[in-house]
Chains A and B, each alone.
Chain A
Amino acid sequence: MRHAMSIEPTPTGSLAADQPMAATAPYLEITGLWKSYADFVALRDISLSIDKGEFICFLGPSGCGKTTLLRAIAGLDLQSHGKIEQAGRNISTLPASRRDYGIVFQSYALFPNLTIEQNIAFGLENAGRSKTEIAARVAELLDTVGLAAQSKKYPAQLSGGQQQRIALARAIAISPGLLLLDEPLSALDAKVRVHLRHEIKALQRKLGVTTIMVTHDQEEALAMADRIVVMNHGVIEQVGSPTEIYRHPATLFVADFIGETNQFPARVLADGEIGIGHSAFRCATEDFSAGQAATAVVRPVDIIPHGADAHAVNAVDRPATLQNLIDAEVREMEFLGMFWRTRLTAPRLGDRTLVADFSVNAVRRLSIQTGGVIQVEIPRERLLLFPRSA
């Protein structure tokens, strides 16, 4: 952000500031959280620890329970069972007004009849601050979000991105210990969204405020989060850093939800070897035993093209040179700007379609074109294996 960053990281909630905590104690600790409605369980046995200053994303498809979890943390929709501790304080059943957080909603929820200034000052008034103190703080916050010139305007006169920044300024005005963002960017244009994502991240880092953001946009989560909590059907599928989640998805759901996948039914043949279709591939098989059914997953971007190799030999004849190399016919090519999305069919995969993303360079260099036959490699370390239920 090019705006002056004059806001100092402020002490978090009053209680948190008084209590010296062990360096290892998490800032927010959720244990055994359930949320059930008459005929539907929205959250099932959620446990999660979040460290101070972390930027966490709750990621998942709609209806996965991520917003429910956020609202439980905020005290807006009480969980049915389970405990939430913030800065060592049990806040499980506290009303929202007695918890310590600032929140930004997808709709921003800016008060339409108050000016930008008045909106930001809303939470500062009524707390024993003098008028000049409040004015100074508002000016400081407006400066931080770069909207000092708009202070007298009404929300309806601002663009979506500007409104979003005001909502953020209003939320951090009271220096909360926890910042909750409920899909804050999803109502914005793609360009503004990318821009704001950097600003929010920079601001968060500057303030050092522990932040939880709910999103269904995996790209947003990968770009912003220190750790991502992937959720589905009310349970946490995986918690990890963006690279962990992407490279080592814990479940097939995570693999499929983050990034794109080719999925093939497979069977473990031996240690380090699986069968897809009629052929064998090398693959890490630590948690599997021979004969077990599995789903093999490879991402389109991980497939390496080797061009049309005149010497390519059918690997079935030469199992010794098992290099995960296969011949494939290019069926369709779709130009997506940064890369070519190609659809391949390979006899060795049982004529299943294999989607691969090739860089523009590679396509030019190897002169890959529709109808041609090329050799592609499915790198051993990029071939992921997940249990398959019968």
Chain B
Amino acid sequence: MNMVLEAPHLPLIGKRLRQEASRDDRIKLGFMAVIGFYLIIALGAPLFVMLSKSFSTYRFDLAAFEFQVSDETGANWGPVVSAEALNRELGAVADGELSTNSDGRLAATKFFPEFSFRSPVHYRIRGTTNEAAFLAGSTLEKGTEWRDYDSSEFRRVVLRPERSLGVANFVTYFSTPALAQSIRNSVLMAAISTVFTVAIAFALAFGLTRSCMPLKGLFRGILTIPILVPSLLPGIALVYLFGTQGVFKDWLLGYSIYGPIGIVIGSIFFTLPHAFLIILTALSVADARHYEAAASLKASKWRTFKTVTVPGARFGLVSAAFVVFTLVITDFGLPKVIGGQYGMLAVDIYKQVIGQQNFEMGAVVSVILLVPAILAFAVDRRMQKRQVALLSARAVPYAPKPNARTDALCFSFACLVSLFILGMIAMCQIAAVVKFWPYDLSLTTKNFAFDLMDGGGWAAYGNSIRLAMLTALFGSIIVFAGAYMVEKADGFRVGRGIFHFLAMMPMAVPGMVLGLAYIFFFNNPANPLNAIYGTMTILVVSTVTHFYTVAHLTALTALKQMDPEFESVAASLKQPFHRLFFRVTVPVCLPAILNIAIYLFVNAMTTVSAVVFLYSTDTKLASVAVLNMDDAGDIAPAAAMGIMIFYTNVAAKLIHALIARGLLKRTQAWR
């Protein structure tokens, strides 16, 4: 017995043995390296670059440049004088103008008021440090060597700013009241939406699991509809319902829909399915024995609800709350459409980058937005783990008993919420096909003539479908292969850990942040991958990466259900791993792979946030077109395009169901 307590005294000689690598091991290692490399390129590196941007400030250092001016002959040089001295004399550039961004340029001629490009005078310029840089035309010059230019060349000389690291950007951010206010606004909106959404989702999930109300399948279907539309769409619907010309405008008692009210109602719409599905799962695992015990102890209904139902779903509730909070605080489409003047973090990023071209400030807002998202993500992961532990293999599934009053109550509530969801969709559908809501309700197809409007036309719709298909195809392959390496490769424990961490990270990175990070990383001429900037490839890469985590977890769950000894058996039978992979692993996991594909497809159709920074004139997308048409005031066409996305996703879902059924019949005969 005392052997266990004894310190292990190992043989002193000889190192720990290492297994000789088999061919399989080498192939697996290669695969893992490739997919790990993909995640580093598509996620780690861009985020790192963005982080460093947010801490970078750019300022023209006038002391770092010196000039010399010649006389009219061009041969005799005057005294050496620094730009700083000249500026002190002339006051040509105010101190505030010296702060700039990475693209900042300052014309050298500013320091020579008498400059004329026709004069025979020559100019010399040099840096006083090796870092001082200036552009002559498009040539970058650096260093302390004198360089001569005649006047016509000198007018094209511009100084470049010096980069320094620091928190100056953050100081600027927090001292700009309009920007700092966005943090409070975003947190407030997210918090209010979370309370409402979780309460509604819990009531719905309760009705579906604990009552005998009719039409449960139908309600379940309706409640997942918002997943199929971009988050912009509820915004557009709300504009039509409660906007300046809205039919139900009076219901708001004079308050405007543009702002907090619109954001909260729209957020409830698009986050409801996520919260509903999480809580539904949590409530579904209820153990009937707990209810029987409560009944045998003569506990009242209310007491049973408080002591059995709610605690049983508490991890689901917390998890749902964090998911909703993250979705609302990171969403960009909805506040863009309905937010009015109400500043929100995600919209600030867009405004800073697209509106003001202030990339550094965009990066600062991104970093701030990462904080709540990562926090929510970390708490959620912890909760999910504990939720699993609650499941007991011996639990007896709960079967509700009919109760007229409860059932009627649950049914009415489900009807009400369904009406809300269908109403929003119907509103968009009507707006898309009538001439001028609400004054001229005659039918028209002019709103679908996208080619006559800004936004990208029908080509954008085609691009979206291409993006969705490519994302579904390559995403499923990359994600499943990656999850297989994490779960089934033995050895390389450290590599697998890093890989898994990278795979979990996208969940915590808001789309806007990812998109901006891509600009920084890929739109850099020094990057060999610069070529993919502005192409469909970067859209596919960003979308796959943006939605990587959920897909990865789906694949992982499916793989974990497989016997861990399959690989050992195949090795003992001297079969290469890829044979096992294609003959057993893939066929057995096919349902999960199809689910990943449809998940990626639907999200690629609806996403706006990451791609809004990355599309080019050739790769405009339907979801972005909704945004741009709405921005341009073409709200009805925007609704029409949104509806097209919705129908496309519905069709994709139906095709997915058909393919799944057909394929499963052939490959899953053993089930």
Contact = CB atoms under 8 A, between A and B. Distances in A.
B571 interface: yes
Interface string B1-38: 10110001011001011111110110000000000000
A80 B16 contact: yes
B574 A97 contact: yes
B526 interface: no
A113 B668 contact: yes
Contact of A75 (B19, B565, B573): B19
A75 B567 CA distance: 12
Contacts of A234: 3
A93 B669 contact: no
Given A81-B17, A95-B21, A101 B572 contact: yes
Contacts of A102: 572-573
A283 to B, nearest CB: 25
Interface stretch (A104-112, A189-197, A205-213, A380-388): A104-112
A126 B579 contact: yes
Nearest to B577: A97
A234 to B, nearest CB: 8
Interface in A122-141: 122-123, 125-127
Nearest to B20: A93
B398 interface: no
B439 interface: no
A269 to B, nearest CB: 28
Nearest to B588: A113
Nearest to A115: B670
A113 B670 contact: yes
Interface string A67-108: 000000011101111100000000011111111011101010
Interface residues of A, number: 51
A81 B568 contact: no
A174 interface: yes
B569 interface: yes
A281 interface: no
Nearest to A96: B571
Q: How large is the interface on B (under 10, 10 to 19, 20 to 34, 35 or more residues)?
A: 35 or more
Nearest to A102: B572
B12 to A, nearest CB: 10
Nearest to A154: B670
Nearest to B670: A154
Given A74-B568, A96-B568, A107-B563, A114 B575 contact: no
Contacts of B575: 122-123, 125-126
Contacts of A114: 583-584
B181 interface: no
B587 interface: yes
Contact of B572 (A34, A154, A171): A171
A95 B583 CA distance: 22
Given A32-B11, A81-B14, A109 B563 contact: yes
Contacts of B474: none
Given A74-B572, A81-B17, A112 B670 contact: yes
Contact of B669 (A34, A97, A154, A235): A154
A171 B11 CA distance: 35
A15 interface: no
Contacts of B669: 113, 154
A93 B573 CA distance: 18
Given A81-B14, A109-B569, A97 B19 contact: no
Interface of B: 1, 3-4, 8, 10-11, 14, 16-22, 24-25, 563, 565-566, 568-576, 579, 583-584, 587-588, 667-671
Given A81-B10, A81-B17, A113-B587, 12 more contacts: A75-B19, A78-B19, A79-B17, A82-B17, A92-B17, A109-B563, A109-B565, A109-B569, A111-B566, A122-B573, A171-B572, A233-B1
